A and B are shown apart, each in its own frame.
Chain A
């Protein structure tokens, strides 16, 4: 074999491996989704949305877990999104070149990858121990802490994309800076910031580790934010590890619902973002 042929063969082999690894990655996604569809769809019916979780052997659904999840994620979003957006605003508008801004940016990036179970432990120490019991509120705050770094980062990036000419033009008209930010920069970056919040919601909707020590679980329907509350991820965790066949079925239905809701949010955001970029 000549040297040239050898190089060509190595190239062919390695490029083939690249294609193979990509197929490998996509294969897992397909396998996961197929598992969810094949195990989950069969047991999906109206009962799932209208009835609370059953005792083993009885009929029932997931209504309390679905409502509980919405409530906890709602609390997380209401607490996390404003803090994330405002902190992102500070970094983009006031702290762009300051040392404090750089430090906050750095630790935010670290916070983005801190294990979510650590966040759960932290909120357990902070809220559950002091309040004396598990609660939906504590779960919501734990989720908010996971959401903040993501929203902060996307908000800052999106606000930086707004051209400085726009800010300068507004400043030249004598508009106070806070009005420039809230009326002009926010409006220009609105779709990007909304994207960040939706991605944040998609991120926290499937989180179970931080809820284990904070919201706990509840087999009954509850809307009380100061009491433990049912939620889909923990329900899936409990039911999947239980020995009862019908609980397994409900766990698969829950897994199917939550995964496809999250994937739908992700895909929606990506399409929205792309069409938006093309307009600009």
Chain B
């Protein structure tokens, strides 16, 4: 108590020396942590600005034609992004079509069906799928999965489904194991843990009372899932799916290994194609000339804008949940 003295009115005050350290320390610490928070905020804008500056020569040269042209020719210095955009969207879409029902099943299993002791280990194992580095998926994809697909899966698929009227062309192409089909499959495995985590967290916040009421009326587990859980968590489920889509769009190394790197619009799922991220990974360090590098950065800008839109929508959906339904803190 030696640093306390009484002033004229008899109130205890802290002596200037000690008090000053408190005030200065407070100010410094608050501003330091605030600065770090602003760094995070500034990052998104800095990324956008840096990409626009880097992409400017290409955008000035090609204009809107950059995103509608299928030309990608370093020799004649003509660049268009359509092939890469198409490959990115097609492989991500295919990944979603497979991953969404699988994630839904896993989330339902770990929240409703599994005995309590099994829930945590299974959730952890599924989350570990997200911890495996993307380059490992790529290696496994090209050395193990692609040969498997080309011998056991693709030939029967094109034999049975290739002649179908409308969807048949999806299953045509050389059964070489690499292409949009393989990329989509590998991507679907990679995004399952992200979608599952969000779905599981939102399923967990459905009030037990609602579910029990439905069970009391004689509903089966499936009917509870479809008519109680799903309507209640709809927004969160969509948010989780979009989060997974954001992941799939920007996935680089795994796709680079298995998509085939062909600069043509694929005629079917089995044909090799290209994605934005794979083009960047393959060509960026070898690009010579300002226009080539700039076009690659412009590709990056396109990818950044697409993922930004998807992610902002996903986060807005998930945030609108935070008040009423549930807050997602799933795998990140």
Does B211 interact with chain A (Cβ within 8 Å)? no
- Bits for B301-332, please: 1 = Cβ < 8 Å to A, else 0: 00110011001100100010000000001001
Contacts of A109 in B (CB 8 A): 311, 315
Asked if A121 contacts B300 (CB within 8 A), the reply is yes
- Bits for B116-138, please: 1 = Cβ < 8 Å to A, else 0: 00001010111111011111111
A8 to B307, CA, bound (A): 42
A90 to chain B, nearest CB (A): 4
Asked if B26 contacts A176 (CB within 8 A), the reply is yes
Does B41 interact with chain A (Cβ within 8 Å)? yes
Does A225 interact with chain B (Cβ within 8 Å)? no
Does A213 interact with chain B (Cβ within 8 Å)? yes
Does B44 interact with chain A (Cβ within 8 Å)? yes
Supplied contacts A25-B126, A178-B28, 11 more A-B pairs, CB within 8 Å: A14-B225, A19-B113, A22-B106, A25-B102, A104-B38, A104-B41, A117-B281, A121-B50, A121-B284, A208-B252, A274-B120
Contacts of A20 in B (CB 8 A): 105
Does B285 interact with chain A (Cβ within 8 Å)? yes
Asked if A126 contacts B252 (CB within 8 A), the reply is no
A182 to B106, CA, bound (A): 41
Report whether over half of chain B's contact residues are helix, strand or loop; otherwise say mixed.
helix
Asked if A21 contacts B251 (CB within 8 A), the reply is no
Known contacts A113-B311, A125-B54, A259-B136, A28 near B189 by CB under 8 Å: yes
Contacts of A78 in B (CB 8 A): none
- The residues in A between 100 and 116 inclusive whose CB is less than 8 angstroms from any CB of B are 100-101, 103-104, 106-116
Does A152 interact with chain B (Cβ within 8 Å)? yes
Binding stretch for chain B, among A50-58, A187-195, A250-258: A250-258
Does A72 interact with chain B (Cβ within 8 Å)? no
Binding stretch for chain A, among B68-76, B229-237, B242-250: B242-250
Give the nearest-CB partner of B328 in chain A: A109
Known contacts A11-B221, A121-B280, A255-B139, A174 near B39 by CB under 8 Å: no
Asked if A174 contacts B304 (CB within 8 A), the reply is no
- The residues in B between 1 and 53 inclusive whose CB is less than 8 angstroms from any CB of A are 14, 21-23, 25-26, 28-30, 32-41, 43-44, 46-47, 50-51, 53
A101 to B105, CA, bound (A): 36
How many chain A residues touch B (CB < 8 A): the figure is: 96
Per a CB cutoff under 8 Å, which of B43, B277, B332 touches A209? B277
Contacts of B189 in A (CB 8 A): 28
Does B140 interact with chain A (Cβ within 8 Å)? yes
A208 to B220, CA, bound (A): 47
A112 to B40, CA, bound (A): 11
Does A270 interact with chain B (Cβ within 8 Å)? yes
Asked if A111 contacts B136 (CB within 8 A), the reply is no
Give the nearest-CB partner of A248 in chain B: B143
Per a CB cutoff under 8 Å, which of A114, A125, A174, A178 touches B50? A125
A251 to chain B, nearest CB (A): 7
- Smallest CB-CB A-B distances: 5 pairs: A115-B250, A206-B133, A21-B105, A176-B22, A178-B29
A51 to B196, CA, bound (A): 42
Give the nearest-CB partner of B145 in chain A: A31
Contacts of A207 in B (CB 8 A): 133
Contacts of A152 in B (CB 8 A): 40
Asked if B222 contacts A202 (CB within 8 A), the reply is no
Report whether over half of chain A's contact residues are helix, strand or loop; otherwise say mixed.
helix
Give the nearest-CB partner of B297 in chain A: A121
Give the nearest-CB partner of A13 in chain B: B222
Does A262 interact with chain B (Cβ within 8 Å)? yes
15 CB < 8 A contacts A-B:
A18-B108, A29-B125, A31-B144, A84-B36, A87-B36, A87-B40, A111-B40, A117-B300, A117-B303, A121-B280, A148-B43, A178-B29, A206-B136, A208-B135, A266-B131
Per a CB cutoff under 8 Å, which of A18, A213, A262 touches B284? A213
Asked if A125 contacts B108 (CB within 8 A), the reply is no
Asked if B109 contacts A266 (CB within 8 A), the reply is no
- The residues in A between 122 and 177 inclusive whose CB is less than 8 angstroms from any CB of B are 122, 124-126, 145, 148-150, 152-153, 157, 174, 176-177
Per a CB cutoff under 8 Å, which of B14, B37, B133 touches A90? B37
Does B101 interact with chain A (Cβ within 8 Å)? yes
Which one of A83, A110, A270 has the greatest number of beta carbons of chain B within 10 Å?
A: A110
Contacts of B332 in A (CB 8 A): 112-113, 149-150, 153
- The residues in B between 91 and 109 inclusive whose CB is less than 8 angstroms from any CB of A are 101-106, 108-109
Give the nearest-CB partner of A30 in chain B: B125
Known contacts A122-B51, A207-B133, A107 near B40 by CB under 8 Å: yes
Give the nearest-CB partner of B296 in chain A: A121
Give the nearest-CB partner of B4 in chain A: A174
Asked if B50 contacts A29 (CB within 8 A), the reply is no
Does A41 interact with chain B (Cβ within 8 Å)? no
A178 to B210, CA, bound (A): 45
